[in-house]
Amino acid sequence: MSDPIVEARELAAADLLRFEQTLQLALEPQREYLTETEYQLYSRGKKLRPLMLLLCARLNGNGAIELPQKVVNASVALEMLHVATLIHDDIVDVAPVRRGLKTVYAERGTETAVLVGDLQFIQAVRCFAAGIDTQQDMRLVQMVLDAGFKICCGELDELMTNPGWNTGVLVSRYFRTVDRKTGSLFGLACESGGMLMGAGKETLMYLSRFGRRFGRAFQIMDDVFDMVKPETAAGKSPGVDMELGRLSLPIIYALDELPRDHAIHRIVRREPHSSEELHLAMEAVVLSTGLLRAYSKAREMIADALEALHMLKPCPYRDVLTRISEYIVDRGFAQPDS
């Protein structure tokens, strides 16, 4: 299957060039505090969130030759907010590696990583605020702060989840966490792209729902990949989420299926276990129906996302957003984006 993200980048090539130029300007005030580790975070990856913001802006642009600078600023701010969450995630997870590279936490220590992550978040808010010229645009600053608040709540929800809760409660908690940690940024990307181009309330409602449901599916697929991909593809040690008690959807469904005396129940409670038991627990999840149930849920979320997207007028930008959405769940086991 061809990668529609590549197609989308070609469609938005001029906008992405301005995005890269504006990103460098936004990083300049931080230059003396950043190392190659941080710059690698910005140079790697497909930058899916800012790309979706730009596509949603174009979808509502009524044929504008050039997007306003405030839209480009918003796309840069969104990427900086995403990078801030990656840095903080790695601190919480005590993660030495992300996508084959040392994390900021591993390279520079907890104290510096916290401050560098905070710096990205604050600069993200500054970028969103820069160039805002209408009262409606001012609402975006509140939306960014709300997204940051939700992300922090999602991190705390994940840490405070009790693996002893029943399956229904765990699934509900999982989706609340995903909506806050992942869905909020994708929702912000799509809604703000439309808002900055003057889209109406109904359009913004559909864009927000599309982004949030897309975010759900995206995270579920990442969780599926974490179970079936080797370390070189998934970017983390196999089983690390399980050992940390991070209950992804495949693990929750597997816990419901596997007997209470199975090693996986002790592992998610962070009780002593051997590497062999961890390997067997990972294998048990893959062999259970948990993986298939999670994958089915991802497809359900994408169908919901596309139902919202297709309430908007057809155009090349809507078409490529549709193909990206389908690709997220249809790509087989291609390497997931970070």
Length of the chain: 338
Instruction: Please name the residue that has the structure tokens 């929800």.
Output: 157
Give the whole-number percent of the chain exceeding pLDDT 90.
67
What phi, psi does 206 have (nearest 5°)?
Answer: -65, -40
260's tokens: 């209470």
pLDDT of residue 233: 45
Measure the CA dihedral 276/291/88/29, to 10°: 130
Domain ranges of the chain: 4-330
Q: Which residues pair with 102 in a beta bridge?
A: 97
Is the Cβ–Cβ distance between 151 and 185 less than 8 Å?
A: yes
Give the tens place of pLDDT for each residue, 49-99: 999 999 999 998 877 789 999 999 999 999 999 999 999 989 988 888 887
More confident residue, 139 or 188: 188
Closest CA to 222 of 156, 148, 309, 301: 301
Domain 4-330 belongs in CATH node 1.10.600.10: yes
Distance in angstroms (rounded) separating the CA atoms of residues 218 and 178: 10
Give the tens place of pLDDT for each residue, 123-139: 998 888 876 777 767 78
pLDDT of residue 337: 46
Position 6: which residue type?
V
> What mean pLDDT comes out for the span 31-50?
92
pLDDT of residue 44: 84
Q: Residue 336 pLDDT more than 50? A: no
